[in-house]
Amino acid sequence: MVAAAGRAPAQARGLDAGGWEDAYRNGRLDYYDRLDELARYSLLAGYVRVLAPSTGTSRPRVLDVGAGTGILRGHLDGIGLGEYVGVDLSAAAVAAATARGHAGARFVTGDVASLDLGTFDVIALNEMLYYVAEPETFLARIEACLASAGVLVVSMWRHPGDRSLWRLVDDRFPRIDRVEARNRANPVNRRGWWVSAHRRRDAATLTIDDPA
């Protein structure tokens, strides 16, 4: 996966697997673990918590694509996951994620497009879709990995070019809900994020139980 110019944020353009490796080893992406990133992680985890029961299993399998150092997994504690698999191009990120020691979590180095991981009840695309050179092909692969009653959760930083990506997501995965998150304390993140939840096009009518 390589970011396409004009669609990705400036810091993402042109990064390949080696670029991601350097970025994680040099600490350029440490900001993902800062307080001003909490809003979008909380929304993603909230969607998983509320929507996972609608997938028809009490212990959902979760795939985190572009998992980085495993930050999202930490926000999923207490949900009762059947399995969590985090995939990232960077071996350094995967090593850091594994070192966090999350129970039942497995982190894999590689490109999800070429890995045979089975199907999942929940798939998270967290700040990574604008790094993909061929998003339509990638989303077709994600659809193949999503269980029939599965839920897709997506977070993208608001930037020029994000509307075309959201159209691709919404066309393939009907939207359940979407929320805007902003952190006005940090000038970099004032533009904010869109965080959304989706289902498969062929899924049955979604039933959501109120959380206890």
Q: How far is CA 118 from CA 105, 144, 147, in A?
A: 16, 9, 9
pLDDT digits 0-9 by tens, 24-45: 777 666 667 676 778 889 999 9
The pair of structure tokens assigned to 172 is 């393939």
Amino acid 8: pLDDT: 46
3-state secondary structure 64-96: EECCCCCHHHHHCCCCCCCEEEEEECCHHHHHH
- The H or E element spanning position 136 is helix 135-145
Predicted confidence at residue 30, as pLDDT, reads 64
Residue 5's pLDDT band, with cuts at 50, 70 and 90, is very low
Going by the DSSP 8-state scheme, the letter that residue 160 receives in this structure is: T
Looking at residue 201, what is its pLDDT? 93
Q: Could you tell me the domains of the chain?
A: 10-73+81-199 (3.40.50.150)
Question: Per-residue pLDDT for 211 more than 60?
Answer: no
**In angstroms, what CA-CA distances link 22 with 19, 31, 62, 96, 167?**
5, 15, 27, 14, 32
Helix, strand, or coil (residue 197): strand
In this predicted model, which residue has the larger pLDDT, 67 or 4?
A: 67
Strands 105-109 and 83-88, by their bridges, are parallel
**Position 98 pLDDT exceeds 60:** yes
Helix 17-25 × helix 91-99 angle, to 10°? 50
What pLDDT, in 10s, does the model give residues 124-140? Answer: 999 989 888 899 999 99
Q: pLDDT tens, 158-176? A: 877 789 999 999 999 999 9
- Sheet containing 83-88: give its strands across: 105-109, 83-88, 61-65, 120-126, 146-157, 193-199, 175-181
127: left (phi over 0), alpha (psi -120 to 50) or beta: left
